Amino acid sequence: MTAPAEKTNLLGLPKAKLEAFFETLGEKRFRAQQVLQWIHQRGVDDFDQMTNMSVALRERLKEIAEIRGPEVVYDETSKDGTRKWVMRMDNGNNVETVLIPDGERGTLCVSSQIGCSLDCTFCSTGKRGFNRNLTAAEIIGQVWVARKAFMPYEPSSRPITNVVMMGMGEPLLNFDNVVDAMNLMMEDLAYGISKRRVTLSTSGVVPALDRLGEVTDVSLAISLHAPNDELRNQLVPLNKKYPISELLAATRRYLARLPDKRKATIEYTVIQGVNDKLEHAKELAVVLKGLPCKINLIPFNPFPESDFERPSMNATRRFQNALTEAGYVTTVRTPRGDDIDAACGQLVGRVEDRTKRSQRYIAVQQVNP
């Protein structure tokens, strides 16, 4: 007996791919527009609810396609309004997604991989090793689940105004799926988020960064964490392959291609006694000279197996002041959602331990302020 063909999950198809899908069915391309709206704006996963399509087409779609998002295993809102989901993906792995409301703004922090192969020494995702890439459906599925939490759909209500690819994983190592998912985030018929408000964060996969500039114009966050190669080699092993000068040159190239004037965000995780000295701040100010950027300082979030410590607020402020005096717009990321561990992502580990899925501590991640 032959196994039944796998159904196409329409959730992960950006407009062009959905149009191609309908064309292969002998249908008009505008079906794609209708389906995009049903799925992403109305949160519908049942073809029978798509009442502007014929019953025959709906029956056909049920046979060959599906709309399947991640399963929510945890959904909690912190006292400060930060909301966190743990979502179970196909092979039972959990991924976390965090929504941080801030006035009119709602920033959703999305994961791109299960684990990460790059092994930055201060990152618990890196410590956990790499499991697999998320599919485009699993990446956009995080936005879909979060958006559905605010149904019924009102065009005027915008609970998610910004998305940052800063959850688990290195987005540039899952290039095609991340690009498809980001296209859906920006698609007017789906989430309609401005390209300025979709941010890809990378530790610096230089060739992929150049490729990114050819296919999209989202905003960029560069995880720098050190002002010189000697120190960065220790914190971000990928630096041995793509040193700071190459990374910043690629960042300049990316910004230069954008049709508008935009700055990159330089992320700098401040670790006590490691990269938090005044001389580091001064060196950083020199290294970044001429790059259109703002700097975001992230006080290190400790986790059980890490050897590093969080810097004092004084040390962080001193660092910030030095950069501000040198002319850089510099912010300090404040911890949010502490009571539900949203700020440091310790939740996935706890949920998994409870269910005895894994003995390993999982996923510390950060979100943008």
Query: Which residue ranges are tagged as binding site?
Result: 116, 120, 123, 169-170, 201, 223-225, 301
Cα separation values, 163 from 75, 166, 356, Å: 18, 9, 31
For the purposes of burial, counting CB atoms within 10 Å of the CB of 319, is it exposed (0-12), middle (13-18) or buried (19 or more)? buried
- The distance of closest approach from Cβ of residue 270 to ligand SAH in the complex, given in angstroms and rounded to an integer, is 8
Residues near ligand SF4 (CB under 6 A) are: 116, 118-120, 123, 125-126, 169-170, 203, 223
301 binds, among ligand SAH, ligand SF4, none (CB under 5 to 8 A by kind): ligand SAH
Short-list 347, 315, 348, CA closest to 332: 315
- 273: region left, alpha or beta (phi > 0 left; psi from -120 to 50 alpha): left
- The distance of closest approach from Cβ of residue 94 to ligand SAH in the complex, given in angstroms and rounded to an integer, is 16
Query: Which residue ranges are tagged as binding site for S-adenosyl-L-methionine?
Result: 169-170, 201, 223-225, 301
Q: Is the peptide bond before 14 cis (omega within 30 degrees of 0)?
A: no
Lookup: tokens for 99: 């929504």
269 sits near ligand SAH (criterion: CB under 6 A): yes
Using CB under 6 A as the binding rule, the residues of this chain from 56 to 95 that contact ligand SAH are none
300 binds, among ligand SAH, ligand SF4, none (CB under 5 to 8 A by kind): ligand SAH
- 297: region left, alpha or beta (phi > 0 left; psi from -120 to 50 alpha): beta
Q: By rule CB under 6 A, what string of x and - marks binding of each residue 97-126 to ligand SAH?
A: -------------------------xx---
Tokens 């796998």 found at: 6
366 binds, among ligand SF4, ligand SAH, none (CB under 5 to 8 A by kind): ligand SAH
User: SS3 of 59, please?
Assistant: helix
Residue tagged active-site, from 109, 293, 344, 352: 344
62 vs 241, which CB is nearer to ligand SF4? Answer: 241
